[in-house]
A and B are shown apart, each in its own frame.
Chain A
Amino acid sequence: MTTVLIVDDSAVDRRLVGGILSRSQQRDQWEIVYAHNGCDALEKVESHIPDVVITDMQMPEMDGLQLVANLKKEYPLIPVVLMTAQGSEDLAVEALHRGAASYIPKRRLKRDLVSTLEMVYTASLEDRSFTRLMIHRMTEHRSSFVLDTDLSLIPALVNYLQQAIRGMKLFDESERLRVGVALEEALLNAFYHGNLEISSKLRETDYRLYYDLARARCEQEPYRNRHVYVDAELSREGAVFTIRDEGPGFDLDSLPDPTDPANLDRPSGRGLLLMYTFMSEVRYNETGNVVTLIKRHKPTRSTNGDGEDDDDGT
C-alpha cells in the first residue's frame, strides 16, 4: 500500500482528490489520509509517515509553501506534490525551488493525479534506496583534488565534501556546517597565504592592495603554477582532510592571538581560530604548508527498531 496524505483546507477538494484515487484502476494501491492545513499535515506525518504528500497551496495557518519547506527540512525523502490553482504558477515555481517534487494544476487533477503520484513515488523509492546505500553500506569515501589558482572552484569543493558528509550522515547539520567553515578557512589560507604568499598584515593595512596583489600574482610566476592538493577521507570514525599548498609555509607562532582584546580589531588569525575550534584536531607539518583537519565522529543517532538508523528522513 502507498500512503497518500492529502492536504487541503477545502473539504470538497480533499474528497475530490481522494475520490479520484479511490476510483482509479490502482485503487487498492492507495491508503488515503487527510489533513486540513499544513500544521495538521505535520501532525499526521509525525504519527504516520506517508509515502507521498499532495497539498493545496493556499491554506490558513501554514500554506503549501511553508509545508514543503518544513517537510524538506524534517522529512527530506517524502515527495510532495502541489495542487495549483490558475494563476499560481509563480508560487509553484517557488515551491519547486524549495524542494517540491512536482505540481498538478487543479483543473487537470482527474487526468494527471494518478500518473504523477506514481511517478514521484517511484522516484522517491530510488532516492530511498540510494540513501540507504550511502548511510548504511558506504563505509569509506576517499577523494583527492588538485586545484589551480581558480578560487571559484573552492566553494564547489567544499559543497561537494559537505554533501558527501550529509550523504553518509556522518555528522548532524550543525557539525556539518562547522566542518564547512573550517574547510573554507583552511583552503583560503592555502590559496592566499600559502600559494600566493600574501600576508594577512597587508589586509590589515589596505584590503584593496591585498586583493589587487592576489589578482596580480594569479598571473605571475611562480605563483600561478602552484596548486592546492586536497585529500578527503570519510569513514565511520569521522572525517580527515589534508590540504597541501606549494608555498614556503608559515610559522604558526607568528600569528597574534585573535581573542586577545587588544587584537579584536585585527583580521589576522581568526580563520585559524575557527579551524581549531570547529575541528577535533588540527595539525600543521613543520614547514607549515600542509594542514590536516580531523573531525571525529560522535555517534548520537537513534535507531528505528530494525537495527538500522532512520533513513526515511525522520
Chain B
Amino acid sequence: MTERRLIHTQRRHAAIVIAFQGEVTQFVDAELFGELDQVLNELSEADVYQVVVDLGQLDYFGSLILEAMRKIWTVVEAHGGRMVVCRVADVSREVLHIAHFDTLWPIADTVDGALALLRE
C-alpha cells in the first residue's frame, strides 16, 4: 500500500485500488493533483490499468474529485483499461449522476465487488 495524505493506493492482484481519503476537500486542489500525478506514475510503472476508485472515505464531493476521476479515467482508457467506482455515499452518487459520470463507470458497493466487476 502506498500512503499519501490524500490518496492511498493498494495493489490487489491485477488491479490497483485508488482511495481518496477523508482529508480531501475542495480546497486542497493543488496538493491533490500533485498526489494524483504520483498515482498516475504508479499506474504507468506497474503497467496496471485495471482500477478501482474507492470513495468510501468521503461524505460528499464536488467538481474537484470529479476532475480527479476524469484524469484517472483518461489514462486508464488510453491504455485499454477498465475502471470501477465503489463505496459511494448517497449525495456523492447524485454528484456522479448529475455530471453524467455514472454512465462512464460501473458503481459497486464494496471494493471486493468492484474487483469482481473488473474480472468479468
A positions within 8 Å CB-CB of B:
151-152, 154-155, 174, 177-178, 180-181, 184-185, 188, 203, 207-208, 211, 214-215, 258-259, 261, 264-265, 267, 270-271, 273-274, 277
Q: Are B33 and A207 in contact (CB under 8 A)?
A: yes
A-B contact pairs, 11 of them (CB 8 A): A154-B26, A177-B60, A181-B95, A188-B27, A211-B29, A211-B30, A211-B33, A258-B99, A261-B100, A267-B67, A267-B70
Smallest beta-carbon distance B30→chain A, Å:
4
* A177–B104 CA distance with the chains assembled, in angstroms: 24
Residues of A contacting B61 with CB < 8 Å?
181
Q: Point out which of B74, B90, B94, B104 has the most chain A C-beta atoms below 10 A from its C-beta.
A: B94
Kindly supply a per-residue 1/0 record for chain B positions 25-40, scoring 1 wherever the CB is within 8 Å of any chain A CB and 0 otherwise: 1110110010000000
Q: Is B116 an interface residue (CB 8 A)?
A: no
Q: Is B106 an interface residue (CB 8 A)?
A: no
Q: Are A155 and B100 in contact (CB under 8 A)?
A: no
* A154–B26 CA distance with the chains assembled, in angstroms: 9
* A207–B30 CA distance with the chains assembled, in angstroms: 8
Residues of A contacting B26 with CB < 8 Å?
154-155, 184-185, 188
Q: Is B59 an interface residue (CB 8 A)?
A: yes
Q: Are B25 and A273 in contact (CB under 8 A)?
A: no
Q: Are A174 and B99 in contact (CB under 8 A)?
A: no
Smallest beta-carbon distance A148→chain B, Å:
14
Q: Is B66 an interface residue (CB 8 A)?
A: yes
Q: Are A270 and B99 in contact (CB under 8 A)?
A: yes
Are A270 and B25 also in contact (CB < 8 A) when A181-B95, A259-B100 are? Answer: no
Kindly supply a per-residue 1/0 record for chain B positions 49-68, scoring 1 wherever the CB is within 8 Å of any chain A CB and 0 otherwise: 00000000001111100110
Q: A177, A178, A271: which contacts B63 (Cβ < 8 A)? A: A271
Residues of B contacting A184 with CB < 8 Å?
25-27, 62
Residues of B contacting A270 with CB < 8 Å?
63, 66-67, 99
Smallest beta-carbon distance B1→chain A, Å:
20
Number of A-B contacts (CB under 8 A): 71
* A271–B65 CA distance with the chains assembled, in angstroms: 11
Residues of B contacting A211 with CB < 8 Å?
29-30, 33
B positions within 8 Å CB-CB of A:
25-27, 29-30, 33, 59-63, 66-67, 70, 74, 90-91, 94-95, 98-101, 104
Residues of B contacting A185 with CB < 8 Å?
26, 62-63
Q: A174, A261, A265: which contacts B91 (Cβ < 8 A)? A: A174
* A184–B114 CA distance with the chains assembled, in angstroms: 29
* A277–B98 CA distance with the chains assembled, in angstroms: 8
Smallest beta-carbon distance B27→chain A, Å:
5
A155-B25, A155-B26, A273-B99 known; 9 other A-B pairs, CB under 8 Å? A174-B90, A184-B26, A185-B63, A188-B63, A207-B33, A211-B33, A264-B101, A271-B63, A274-B95
* A152–B26 CA distance with the chains assembled, in angstroms: 10
Q: Are B70 and A265 in contact (CB under 8 A)?
A: yes
Q: B29, B70, B91, B104: which contacts A178 (Cβ < 8 A)? A: B91
Closest 5 CB pairs of A and B: A211-B30, A271-B63, A270-B63, A184-B26, A177-B91
Residues of A contacting B70 with CB < 8 Å?
264-265, 267
* A265–B90 CA distance with the chains assembled, in angstroms: 23
Smallest beta-carbon distance B106→chain A, Å:
16
Q: Are A181 and B99 in contact (CB under 8 A)?
A: no
Smallest beta-carbon distance A162→chain B, Å:
10
Smallest beta-carbon distance A181→chain B, Å:
5
Q: Are A152 and B60 in contact (CB under 8 A)?
A: no
Are A180 and B60 also in contact (CB < 8 A) when A259-B99, A264-B100, A273-B98 are? Answer: yes
Q: Are B62 and A274 in contact (CB under 8 A)?
A: yes
